[in-house]
Amino acid sequence: MLDWWLPENVSTYGQEIDWLFHLIYYITGVTFILVFATMLAFIVMYRDRPGRKARYTHGNTTLEIVWTVVPALILVILTLLSVPAWSKIKMTMPETDFIVQVTAKQFNWQITYPGPDGKFGTADDKTLLDEMHVPVNKIVRVHLKSQDVIHSFFVPQFRMKQDAVPGREIKQWFEATKPGKYELPCAELCGFGHSGMRGWIYVHTADEYAKWAAQNLTAEAAPTTEAKPDDKADAKKEAPGKAEPKKEGKAKK
């Protein structure tokens, strides 16, 4: 019952977003109750009854000033509280040596690792389809691109969302705090296959990640772009078919 709420948060900055969310929730909740209680009270007290006469008044300047200034102050405070989190999440880019390129296309996420040489655009780059593997407690930088329409990189449990815009490379970051397997849906309408455009982010412990990387990102590992489903650790794969660039199924012209 109570899990009808925000999904579990597993990223560092997610806490700040959740804190602001709850703050606004309580402020608006209290405002809602006060306004509705007043309205209901007025509806009951001032309903038309025999002999009742309405008060003849055009307003009250003091009241007008109070109910202009008080909401304005609350909103200014909310703005000031929002600024630090926003600037931390979107305007600063913490240093890290862990960079992944994500290129969205109709209707997949292509995740590219730089390979052993640590550089993108070289022959040893590894590209996986709809799956990303990262170590826990490590700042991960995502270089987000799109090769066709606008998509949106959304990880609910990370409280992370960023549109991928064709013609741009947008840099984002996150730091996961708990190992697990998290969904990566597309949040921006991108065509008939939008629903179901979904990848998985596997957050591993440092050891497990090292093991996974050794098997999958080294030169000997399966060649790029056809990213073989890694057969060990994660049994819950949707197995074959996933690597071939779909197109069937939903595709209907």
Of residues 64 through 93, those in contact with other proteins by CB under 8 A are 64, 67-68, 71-72, 75-76, 78-79, 81-83, 85-87, 89-91
List the interface residues with other proteins, window 194-233 (CB under 8 A): 194-196, 198
Q: What residues between 146 and 185 interact with other proteins by CB under 8 A?
A: 148-150, 152, 154, 156-157, 159-163, 165-168, 170, 183, 185
Do 199 and 110 contact (CB within 8 A), yes or no?
no
Closest to other proteins by CB, 168 vs 228, is: 168
- Is 192 near other proteins (CB under 8 A)? yes
- CB-wise, 114 or 185, nearer to other proteins? 185
The 3-state DSSP class for residue 172 equals strand
CB 204 within 8 A of CB 178: no
Q: What binding mask, one character per residue, do residues 12-51 give for other proteins by CB under 8 A, x or -?
A: -x--xx--xx--xx-xx--xx--xx-xx--xx--xxxx--
Beta-ladder partners of 208: none
Q: C-beta of 223: minimal distance to other proteins in Å?
A: 28
Q: What is the DSSP letter of 204?
A: E
| Coil, strand or helix at 203 | strand
Size (the chain), residues: 253
Q: Per the structure block, which two tokens stand in for 251?
A: 């595709």
Alpha-carbon distance of 105 to 149, in angstroms, equals 7
Q: How far is the CB of 103 from other proteins (least distance, A)?
A: 13
CB of 114 to other proteins, least distance (A): 23
Choice between 126 and 246, CB closer to other proteins: 246
**Distance (Å, whole) CA 145 – CA 106:** 12
- Minimum distance from residue 219 beta carbon to other proteins (Å): 34
Query: What six digits make up the tokens of 100?
Result: 């992944």
Instruction: Output DSSP code: residue 87.
Output: I
Q: Which among 62-70, 114-122, 133-141, 211-219 is the span making contact with other proteins, rule CB under 8 A?
A: 62-70
Query: 107-146: which residues touch other proteins (CB under 8 A)?
Result: none
Q: Among 130, 131, 175, 188, which residue interacts with other proteins (rule: CB under 8 A)?
A: 188
Whichever of 80 and 123 has its CB closer to other proteins, that residue is 80
| Residue number with CB closer to other proteins (134 or 197) | 197
Nearest to 196 by CA among 102, 104, 108, 103: 108
Give burial (CB, 10 Å; 0-12/13-18/19+) of 173.
buried
Q: Dihedral (C-alpha) 15, 16, 18, 20: value to the nearest 10 degrees?
A: 160
Tell me which stretch binds other proteins (CB under 8 A): 3-11, 125-133, 207-215, 224-232: 3-11
